Amino acid sequence: MKLVQLRWFLALILILPALALAQSAYYPDARWERRTPAQAGFDAAKLKSAIDFAVAAESKRPRDMAEDQRTSFGKNEPMADIVGPMKPRGDMSGVIVRGGYIVAEWGEPARVDMAHSVTKSFLSSVVGAAFDRGMIASLDDAVAPYVPPVQPYPKGDLIDLFPTPRDRTVTWDHMLRQTSDWEGTLWGKPDWVDRPGPDPEKNRTRERSQPGTTWKYNDTRVNALALAALNVWRRPLPQVLKEFVMDPIGASSSWRWFGYETSFVVLDGQVMQSVSGGGHYGGGMYINAFDMARFGLLTLRGGRWKERQVLSRAWVERALTPTAANRQYGFMNWFLNVDGTLLPSAGRKVFAHIGNGVNLIIVDPDNDLVVVLRWIDSNRSADEVLKRVVEALTPQAGRTQAKVDLSSR
């Protein structure tokens, strides 16, 4: 056998089993099929106990999201005025998916509510879609060459996202991992006002770290990434997300992605809104629990949906790689359980997309599970819910590995 033919033969040996697994896995269409707990391998009474615990652990914080913001971020941060839309939330809600099938749902899973920082996982996905298409050559590239001066709307000086020599060394990977320590003001919010600690002035004047060396959760920097991605795509990011992620996974048409009243720009002669990466100052993703579960299933299956690789396996694997400065964090907002700190009762392959509220999409590859929890009081309660859900699996169910194994991470 010739060398070229041998290479093709070996490639087929490697590829065909993966394709067969992907084709045999169940993916929902517009109508999402359901299974009873027994059909999905659960003890029904134990699963109900897990759901009852989740309902009892509903957040006690104000249901009015604007009031919640004013009594949390607004109480402790300078310049915390709300500049994007907010709305009151619904009841504590959830969805449990196993093997791709809905096994349980409760509360108001069809209600469109703020997802807060789960939005960051959608933002990183549109960056991933650009990377997969070669629009971003390397995630280790500096972002600055991709973003020329931006014209704000309706008026104002041109926005230079990377004005300092240090900022011009910030890469896409730094921004995706929240290790950039980017310095600047965007949409009227300086980076130093976000979670400034007890001494905001000290945070404002401190010496900046070398990009990649420190981790800090910061929404102004996330919004800078959103504006950078808008410049790469040259079209509104909600349109990009719809075409390349949400439509392929069969999401509803009810989700919305908002920015701020201050975050409009002119690009290619068109006025566009640069969206926010969360609800810190309002805006962000408004979505129902079913669509969140679809996104969770996409990430469980390694970015694949039916015969289509929506997000490349390379992207998903990198998103799940721990950040050196914070091993619980991959790309925004992929929180990892590699050391058991995030969800102590869960397996080390478990990861979650997490937002304020608390909103979570928990992904458990070992048990082929996606659990969406909305408006639960804490990660600790979420851990207990997942523990009870896994304990509800019958001995006959076993540990069913997800169809796409990402155990190499």
Nearest 5°: the CA angle 28, 29, 30 is 120
- Residue 199: the pLDDT is 86
- The answer to pTM > 0.75 is yes
Q: For 127-148, what is the mean pLDDT?
A: 98
Q: Minimal CA–CA distance to 385: which of 112, 106, 113?
A: 106
- Residue 4: the pLDDT is 42
What CA dihedral angle connects 22, 26, 32 and 37, to 10 degrees?
-140
Is 70 exceeded by the pLDDT of residue 250? yes
Cβ-based neighbour number of residue 271 at 10 Å: 11
> By mean pLDDT, which of 110-114, 317-321, 379-383, 397-401 is the weakest?
397-401
Q: Which residue has the tokens 């719809």?
A: 242
Is 80 exceeded by the pLDDT of residue 14? no
Q: Minimal CA–CA distance to 287: which of 87, 69, 28?
A: 87
**pLDDT band at residue 6 under the 50/70/90 scheme:** very low
Is 80 exceeded by the pLDDT of residue 16? no
Q: For 39-54, what is the mean pLDDT?
A: 98
**DSSP letter for each residue of 314-374:** HHHHHHTSPBTTBTTB-STTEEE-TTSSSSTTS-TT-EEEEETTTEEEEEEGGGTEEEEEE
Question: Which positions ≥6 away from 212 have C-beta within 8 Å?
Answer: 171, 173, 174, 177, 179, 180, 324, 325
Q: Minimal CA–CA distance to 42: which of 97, 111, 117?
A: 97
Question: 37: cis peptide before it, omega within 30°?
Answer: no
- Residue 228: the pLDDT is 98
- Residue 252: the pLDDT is 98
- Residue 17: the pLDDT is 45
- Residue 200: the pLDDT is 87
> By mean pLDDT, which of 123-132, 200-209, 258-267, 341-350 is the weakest?
200-209
The percent of residues in the chain predicted with pLDDT above 70, rounded, is 91
Residue 98, helix vs strand vs coil: strand
Q: pLDDT (tens digit, 9 = 90+) per residue, 184-217?
A: 999 999 999 999 988 888 888 999 999 999 999 9
Average pLDDT along the chain: 92
> By mean pLDDT, which of 19-33, 151-165, 212-226, 390-404 is the weakest?
390-404
- Residue 233: the pLDDT is 98
Q: For 213-230, what is the mean pLDDT?
A: 98
Q: pLDDT (tens digit, 9 = 90+) per residue, 75-126?
A: 889 999 999 999 999 999 999 999 999 999 999 999 999 999 999 999 999 9
- Residue 152: the pLDDT is 98
Question: In three state form, how does the secondary structure of 141-195 look?
Answer: CECHHHCCCEEECCCCCCECCCCCCCHHHCEHHHHHHCCCCCCCEECCEEHHHCC
Q: Minimal CA–CA distance to 342: which of 290, 315, 242, 333?
A: 333
Is 90 exceeded by the pLDDT of residue 168? yes
**pLDDT band at residue 373 under the 50/70/90 scheme:** very high
Q: Minimal CA–CA distance to 82: which of 259, 323, 227?
A: 259
Is 80 exceeded by the pLDDT of residue 232? yes
